[in-house]
Amino acid sequence: MAYPGGGGHYQQTHLVTGDAVVLDLRPAGFATRMLALLIDVLVQVALLIALSVLTVLVGNGLDAAATASVQLAVVVLVLIGYPTAFETLTRGRSLGKLSLGLRVVGTDGSPERFRQALARALCAFVEIWLFSGVPALITSLINRDGRRIGDFLAGTLVVEERSARGHEETIMMPPHLAEWASHAELSGLSAETAATARQYVLRYGELTEEARHEMGARIAAEVARSVSPPPPSHAAPLDFLAAVLAERRRREEERLARQRRTPPYPG
């Protein structure tokens, strides 16, 4: 299905991507980010101590070479494996970031991926653990977004998640698609695809004409594969995506309202 461009205008926000998409995400402040890092370092130090003691107790009969190998494995597991796995599973939030409302995202606003989390962890081993955090401190201070070396190599940015949530913008239902949307099956639409569509709709007014057409057609085609029946042939990508997102939000609000009205126990 071919999608022509649509029209619209939306407010400017803080973070501009390489595709000229302006995201409603604010880079984390230096002090907040350092506090989150301190929490993560303390957690990792505690894990290192606990696992090292356990290794000594369990491997009492091992020779020196075997003991050294186990200790090296513990260091790699805690300093690289733990942050990589944790940030991948939580989509960019370590324990420190989680406690302070921060999240790691790609510079295009996408959720952090495994390869990005691994790159950040590998760089952290050098810039934070081997050099006591001095390279990370210097690069964070001289870069306006507070990015350290690992962020530049991974293509990531630490943002204030709570701030982003506080600036929600409502997407309105296009009237001519309301009937179609009310009967559409939207359960196959993933949260990540919906988030991508939302960014496009909200930032449409900040895109170049070429980006509007190219990104709109691509995102609309991806969303169309997840909903049924297909959108009307005359629907522009902007209107189609707005209809899907507005209807999705309406159904979620209705679901939450029903939960509030329903007593937790019968009788």
Residue 208 falls inside a structural domain: yes
Do 138 and 182 belong together in one domain? no
Do 117 and 238 belong together in one domain? no
pLDDT at 5: 38
Residue 44 falls inside a structural domain: yes
Residue 152 falls inside a structural domain: yes
Do 189 and 65 belong together in one domain? no
Q: Take residue 181 and report the two structure tokens written for it.
A: 């949307």
pLDDT at 94: 93
Do 122 and 140 belong together in one domain? yes
Helix axis angle, 237-261 to 191-202, nearest 10°: 120
| Domain end marker among 114, 141, 165 | 165
Q: Residue 191, Cβ neighbours under 10 Å: how many?
A: 9
Best CA proximity match to 135, nearest among 156, 111, 118, 153 = 153
| Domain end marker among 148, 165, 182 | 165
Do 136 and 206 belong together in one domain? no
Residue 109 falls inside a structural domain: yes
pLDDT at 262: 62
Do 117 and 159 belong together in one domain? yes
Q: Taking all residues of the chain, what is their mean pLDDT, rounded to a whole number?
A: 82
Number of domains in the chain: 2
Do 112 and 152 belong together in one domain? yes
Do 175 and 155 belong together in one domain? no
Do 35 and 111 belong together in one domain? yes
Q: What is the DSSP string of 162-220?
A: HHHHTT--PPPPPGGGHHHHHH-B-TT--HHHHHHHHHHHHTGGGS-HHHHHHHHHHHH
Residue 120 falls inside a structural domain: yes
Domain around 192 = 168-252
Q: What is the DSSP string of 216-255?
A: HHHHHHHHHTTSBSPPPTT--HHHHHHHHHHHHHHHHHHH
| Domain end marker among 114, 149, 165 | 165
Chain segment 99-155, per-residue pLDDT in tens = 998 989 887 767 889 999 999 999 999 999 999 999 999 998 888 888 999 999 999
**H helices of 59-148, where?**
64-76, 82-89, 95-100, 114-124, 134-142
Residue 259 falls inside a structural domain: no
- pTM score, two decimals? 0.56
Residue 20 falls inside a structural domain: no
Positions of the chain with pLDDT lower than 70, given as ranges: 1-25, 59, 61-62, 109, 162-169, 260-267
Residue 265 falls inside a structural domain: no
Best CA proximity match to 227, nearest among 251, 256, 204, 203 = 251
pLDDT at 167: 45
Do 186 and 143 belong together in one domain? no
